[in-house]
Amino acid sequence: MSSRTLFLIAALAGAATFAYALYSQYVLGLAPCALCIWQRYGLGVGIAGALLAALTGSRAGKVTFGTLGALGFLFEAGAAVFHSGVERKLWEGLATCSGSTLSETFDPAALAEAAAGGKAVPRCDDIVWDFLGLSMANWNVLIASGFMVVCAIGVARVRRIS
C-alpha cells in the first residue's frame, strides 16, 4: 500500500470519527466535556496533517505533514488515555469538569448558561456511553493510536523510498 493511500485512510477514517463525535453530540445529545474537546483538537490536527500529506507531491511535504498527522493523533490518544483514567477514577481530572473542587478556573456564568439552556453540564469523570464495556474515551485511545500508526507507517515508507 502506498504512503498516499495510508495517509488518505488515516484522514478519511479520522473524519468519520469526527463526524461520529458530532453525531453523538447533536443527534444523540451527548454533550462533550472539556477532555472530549481536547481530544477533538488532536483529531483535527491529525486529520489535517494526514490529508495534506496525501495531497502534497513533495517527499519533504509528505514527511512533514505525515509527521504532523501522527503527532496530532498521538495527542488525541494521550488526551483519551487521561480521560479514560479520570472516568475509571484512577486519577483526578480537571477541576473545571470533574466537579471535584472549585478553583480559580470555575466559571459560574458558563454553568448558569448551560443550566438555563436545559442541558446537563457534562462531567469528565462520568461514563455516559459505552460499548462492549469500553467508554467512548477508551475506544478513542484505540482508534487514535491506530491512526497514529498508519501515519507513522506512511512516513516510514516515504523516507525509505529515495
The SS3 assignment for 135 reads strand
pLDDT (tens digit, 9 = 90+) per residue, 114-159? 555 555 557 777 777 778 988 888 989 999 999 999 999 999 998 8
- Over range 53-66, report the average pLDDT: 93
Please give the Cα distance from 47 to 28 (Å, whole number).
24
Mean pLDDT, the chain, integer: 84
Confidence band, pLDDT 50/70/90 cuts, at residue 103: very low
pLDDT (tens digit, 9 = 90+) per residue, 11-38? 999 999 999 999 988 898 888 888 888 8
Please give the Cα distance from 41 to 87 (Å, whole number).
20
Report the predicted TM-score, pTM, of the whole model to 2 decimal places.
0.80
> In the CATH scheme, what is the code of domain 3-91+125-160?
1.20.1550.10
Share of the chain above pLDDT 70, in %: 82
According to the model, what pLDDT value does residue 112 have?
59
User: Given a cut of 90, is residue 65 above it in pLDDT?
Assistant: yes
| Cβ-contact 125, 98 below 8 angstroms | yes
Out of 33-42, 47-56, 94-103, 145-154, pick the least confident.
94-103
According to the model, what pLDDT value does residue 135 have?
85
User: Given a cut of 80, is residue 54 above it in pLDDT?
Assistant: yes
User: Given a cut of 70, is residue 88 above it in pLDDT?
Assistant: yes
| Cβ-contact 3, 155 below 8 angstroms | yes
Distance between the two ends of the chain, CA-based, in angstroms?
A: 17
| Residue environment code for 143-161, b if the CB has 16+ CB neighbours within 10 A, otherwise e | bbbebbebbbbbbebbeee
Residue ranges of the domains in the chain? Answer: 3-91+125-160
